[in-house]
Structure 1
Amino acid sequence: MALSVLDLFSVGIGPSSSHTVGPMRAARLFTEGLVGDGLLDAVSRVRAELFGSLGATGHGHGSDKAVILGLQGQDPETVDTGTADEQVRASTDRGQLCLAGTHPVPFDRSEDVVMHRRKSLPAHPNGMTFSAHGADGELLRERTYYSVGGGFVVDGDASGADRVVADSTEVAHPFTTGDQLLEVCRREGMSIAEVMAANERSWRPVEDTRAALLHIWDVMQECVENGCTRTEARLPGGLKVRRRAPGLRARLREAEAAADACAVRPASDPLQAMEWINLYALAVNEENASGGRIVTAPTNGAAGIIPAVLHYYARFIAEADEDGVVEFLLTAAAVGILIKENASISGAEMGCQGEVGSACSMAAAGLCAVLGGTPEQVENAAEVGMEHNLGLTCDPVGGLVQIPCIERNAIASVKAINAARLALQGDGEHTVSLDQVIKTMRETGNDMKIKYKETSRGGLAVNVIEC
């Protein structure tokens, strides 16, 4: 099994990688299978059933909409986010789906997209089953898929569906633990980013990987800009959450302009950078909550952390450049691979420690690397970032990726920067290893009650009254 940096970072649509991106990909995979086997023209009805966490919070996460778009051939990376809701509404109103974008079939949304709030499938909390029927009602095909976090989708027949996506690609420097990764770095005299870059050559040329990662960075920057320029005062959904990013950026820019206009500059706020970090994270996650274009990093619920820390690097570190951005993302992805292989990045499986904790750990590692950290210091930063998110529950109010998700990204972004700086003050030697903290995260997630794992049945989700 091998994972690429581009598996950990992909362009998609908000608000959730596991509940929106994954179901859209699964629905599209199902219709592509019908096309490939010559069954599409015989289909007169399709039905989708969503189970577990998908059924429990799918409406708030837009899972039903994602399925409808995917059945019609839409892809998370290219779907028009500005018209996605309109496309779904049109299909619902006219009572017709255009399967794979070419084959029209009758569609009754209440009957053909079923959300099972209390039923689960065995392999993973995010399970879904699609069925296609002929003119006489006969079953032409039925397939089960699992959305295992970060937009990854596996077939119901795949082994280890609750953990990984199979890829038999052989890489130059395989590793499955942090200790193995550090040993490769010592043996080869390479940084973590260099190990990752060498492995990426198994999939594509070096220049293609670099171009793809810089495109990811471009999308992250565009996402921040979109989040700062939205004109709607409130986020969609019943909570009526107020957007903060546009107003916060305006205030920060006004303060900078006023300071520049002063003949004598006032004493600078030593924590001013934190205001910008908060802004970047809020902008991304408000955009995510709006169903906008997002980089899954490694999930949508935690999508603001790595962009916020990268923006901090680009804005406040004088030596920042595109080489650093590439190094940051490669290093962060190495940590994400370790977490995905040895635990999970799925909130429905691990709670929010699997999402925000993972992103915080990845961001801390990436920043430590570009600030000159050794592989040992980078591993230390990643460990600190994860350790201090252990036990974090996933309890979205109203099933929406808004409260506490948006603020949680801002807090974790600052925590990641602190973890990197703390690690840089040491020599890389520390008591708790990254492998140990990942194992602890997995065990903690397994022990966590289901109501705290993206079901909206516990925590803030029941103690905050939805408006």
Structure 2
Amino acid sequence: MQREQISVFDIFKIGIGPSSSHTLGPWRAAQQFVQALQQQDALDSVVQVKILLYGSLAKTGKGHGTDIAILLGLCGHDPVTFAVDQLDATIAEIHRLHQLMLGDNHEVSFFAEDDLLFLFDQSLPYHPNAVTFQAFLSTGKAVSETYYSIGGGFVVKEGGAGNMATEVDLPFPVDTADELLHWCRKTGLKISEVVMENEQAWRPEINTKEGVLQIFTIIKECIYRGCHTKGCLPGGLNVARRAAGLNKKLIGDRSYNNFDEWLSAIRQTGNGFQNTLDWVSCFALAVNEENASFGRVVTAPTNGAAGVIPAVLMYYIVFCDGFSEERIIQFLLTASEVGSIFKKGATISAAMGGCQAEIGVSSAMAAAALTECLGGSQRQVLMAAEIAMEHHLGLTCDPIGGLVQVPCIERNTMGAIKAITASQLALQTNPDNAKVSLDAVVKTMWQTALDMNSKYKETSDGGLAINIPISLPEC
């Protein structure tokens, strides 16, 4: 049986909010479809394109910007580099002119009401997040491909492979926590060091470090931007942004001009328990408010849970003196390995597993990373991940209005605090006394996902999504 190989850059992807499964994944799928047309020398023959959205992509696609992402992907824009401040104008122009520029060089007519269909009552068997692209050619033939957005920006083409890193011979292949612990015991390496050795099968170590630091650059820019942007979120719920106000309240009259000076000012506010909690919440809110506003974020491992790991990393940087490149790399490498174990053994898709698959996994990743960086043993690291997920089991995904706002944004603060608590518990515990293993909790999470009613899996058909009125004007 072929092992699934996942790189740190598969877990941490740079993209645009609000959802990795409903925005980033469909965006990548659209890009792949255009590439398929180009490879078949069919792009210049296309006269019409239809997009069919199924299952969860249909039910919450509008709130998650699935239609927007797909149109941008078809037009050749990339989520890593696309100027987010041009998003509204670009989409408005497509609808005004009724034209798509496929691959940025072939124009076809496009009428959204006829060509982009939300099939609310239809679902495909492989995964709830399905999209079919149909291209009709001037020759009378047609090209049709179906893609599944399986969480975290991962995309699988029907009948094809996923988009993980190119298959290589990894020195330390890992599918489970037990296998990871085996390699740590055999080599004496930390978890982050095992990950780095595996990453070198894809690229030189210096390139991995540069890439991880680029991930951190996007994270810190996102946090800083989110902590200094006021207003309310798009979508109609009239949700006010809170991070900027909280930052101003906590920072007081201290002045600063950039990220580094801001960190110094935060440290001056003290390290009391309540102050620390407030700052961790502020960091998490900032990221997910940016995410909800179609800002640039990093999947960690998803967009809906993108604030947990940055918040815990900032906690480590500010309150545990962890602001060094090597420490940041160590943190993110460790987190990525725990995320990959959940991806392989269960799911990181809320449409498959509810919010336990997003906030739960991100909390486990953050707990593990913090524990290693604070000097925990390999077993304590895995124990921290287990504790964090154990107390997210069964968490549902019931976004109000199909938006990644309520309860999603606040849940990132909860996931971050739980991660820090899990880390502290693990650091103060002898792993010999643990009753539950990380592999057992991964298995349990997957079983819980299979048992969970579909209305609690990112469909907005149950829970808070049907009990909270949403007839509020968009601000």
Fold in common (TM above 0.5): yes
More displaced stretch, 268-277 vs 143-152? 268-277
CA distance in 2, matches of 1:29, 1:380: 39
Residue 458 of structure 2 is matched in structure 1 by 454
Letter in 1 for 2:143: R
How many Å apart are 1:169 and its aligned residue?
A: 1.9
Q: What's the CA shift string for 1:29-61, capped at 9, x where partnerless? A: 101111122111110111111100000000000
Q: Aligned pair in 2 of structure 1 residues 158, 202: CA closer, same or farther (>3 Å)? A: same
Q: How does 1:77-96 map to 2 (within 5 A)?
A: 77-96=80-99
Q: How does 1:235-250 map to 2 (within 5 A)?
A: 235-250=233-248
Q: How does 1:216-231 map to 2 (within 5 A)?
A: 216-231=215-230
How many Å apart are 1:117 and its aligned residue?
A: 1.1
Q: 1:27 aligns with which of 23, 27, 30?
A: 30
8 Å contact from structure 1 (residues 3, 167) kept in 2: no
CA distance in 2, matches of 1:188, 1:376: 14
CA distance in 2, matches of 1:444, 1:75: 35
CA distance in 1, matches of 2:459, 2:35: 30
> After the TM superposition, which segments of 4 or more aligned residues of structure 1 sit over 6 Å from their partners?
265-268
CA distance in 1, matches of 2:42, 2:80: 26
Residue 181 of structure 1 is matched in structure 2 by 180
More displaced stretch, 310-319 vs 62-71? 310-319
Q: 2:148 aligns with which of 142, 146, 151?
A: 146
Q: What CA RMSD, in Å, does the superposition of the two structures yield over aligned residues? A: 1.6
Q: What's the CA shift string for 1:185-238, capped at 9, x where partnerless? A: 00011110010000000111001101111111110000011112224x210011
Number of residue pairs matched?
455
The TM-score, its normalising length taken from structure 2, stands at: 0.93
Letter in 1 for 2:157: D
Query: Counterpart of 1:309 in 2: which secondary structure?
Result: helix
Gaps (5+ residues) in structure 2?
Answer: 256-267
Q: How does 1:311-460 map to 2 (within 5 A)?
A: 311-429=314-432, 430-460=434-464
Q: What's the CA shift string for 1:337-390, capped at 9, x where partnerless? A: 100000000000000000000000000000001000110000000000110000
CA distance in 1, matches of 2:271, 2:70: 50
8 Å contact from structure 1 (residues 2, 170) kept in 2: no
Residue 212 of structure 1 is matched in structure 2 by 211
Residue 202 of structure 1 is matched in structure 2 by 201
Residue 263 of structure 2 is matched in structure 1 by none
Percent identity between matched residues is 48
More displaced stretch, 81-90 vs 235-244? 81-90
8 Å contact from structure 1 (residues 131, 139) kept in 2: no
CA distance in 2, matches of 1:36, 1:143: 14
8 Å contact from structure 1 (residues 127, 145) kept in 2: yes
CA distance in 2, matches of 1:166, 1:415: 31
CA distance in 2, matches of 1:350, 1:37: 36
Letter in 1 for 2:234: P
CA distance in 2, matches of 1:66, 1:446: 29
Q: 1:288 aligns with which of 280, 286, 291?
A: 291
CA distance in 2, matches of 1:193, 1:101: 40
Residue 68 of structure 1 is matched in structure 2 by 71
Q: Aligned pair in 2 of structure 1 residues 129, 251: CA closer, same or farther (>3 Å)? A: same
How many Å apart are 1:256 and its aligned residue?
A: 6.6
Q: What's the CA shift string for 1:239-265, capped at 9, x where partnerless? A: 0001101100000011778xxxxxxx9
Q: What's the CA shift string for 1:119-171, capped at 9, x where partnerless? A: 101100000100100236x3421000000000011111137x7xx95853221
Q: Aligned pair in 2 of structure 1 residues 39, 388: CA closer, same or farther (>3 Å)? A: same
How many Å apart are 1:84 and its aligned residue?
A: 1.3
CA distance in 1, matches of 2:82, 2:269: 48
Q: What's the CA shift string for 1:374-431, capped at 9, x where partnerless? A: 1000000000011000000000000000000000001110110110011000122311
The TM-score, its normalising length taken from structure 1, stands at: 0.95
Query: Counterpart of 2:306 in 1: which secondary structure?
Result: coil
CA distance in 2, matches of 1:385, 1:370: 17
8 Å contact from structure 1 (residues 18, 126) kept in 2: yes
CA distance in 2, matches of 1:266, 1:72: 47
Residue 260 of structure 1 is matched in structure 2 by none
Q: Aligned pair in 2 of structure 1 residues 389, 221: CA closer, same or farther (>3 Å)? A: same
8 Å contact from structure 1 (residues 65, 85) kept in 2: no
Residue 158 of structure 1 is matched in structure 2 by 160
Q: Aligned pair in 2 of structure 1 residues 107, 314: CA closer, same or farther (>3 Å)? A: same
Q: Aligned pair in 2 of structure 1 residues 383, 255: CA closer, same or farther (>3 Å)? A: farther
CA distance in 2, matches of 1:197, 1:317: 23
CA distance in 2, matches of 1:410, 1:299: 15
CA distance in 1, matches of 2:254, 2:315: 16
Q: 2:250 aligns with which of 227, 249, 252?
A: 252
Q: Is 1:125 the equivalent of 2:128?
A: yes
CA distance in 2, matches of 1:393, 1:165: 27
CA distance in 1, matches of 2:322, 2:116: 51
Residue 270 of structure 1 is matched in structure 2 by 273
Letter in 2 for 1:60: G
Q: How does 1:52-63 map to 2 (within 5 A)?
A: 52-63=55-66
8 Å contact from structure 1 (residues 352, 394) kept in 2: yes
Gaps (5+ residues) in structure 1?
Answer: 258-264
8 Å contact from structure 1 (residues 8, 298) kept in 2: yes
CA distance in 1, matches of 2:336, 2:227: 27
Letter in 2 for 1:254: G
Query: Counterpart of 1:365 in 2: which secondary structure?
Result: helix
8 Å contact from structure 1 (residues 95, 107) kept in 2: yes
8 Å contact from structure 1 (residues 12, 293) kept in 2: yes
8 Å contact from structure 2 (residues 42, 137) kept in 1: no
Q: What's the CA shift string for 1:410-453, capped at 9, x where partnerless? A: 11101101100110001223110000000000000100000000
CA distance in 2, matches of 1:286, 1:7: 23
CA distance in 2, matches of 1:320, 1:21: 30
8 Å contact from structure 2 (residues 10, 164) kept in 1: no
8 Å contact from structure 2 (residues 48, 109) kept in 1: yes
CA distance in 2, matches of 1:208, 1:59: 38
CA distance in 1, matches of 2:138, 2:40: 18
8 Å contact from structure 2 (residues 135, 143) kept in 1: yes
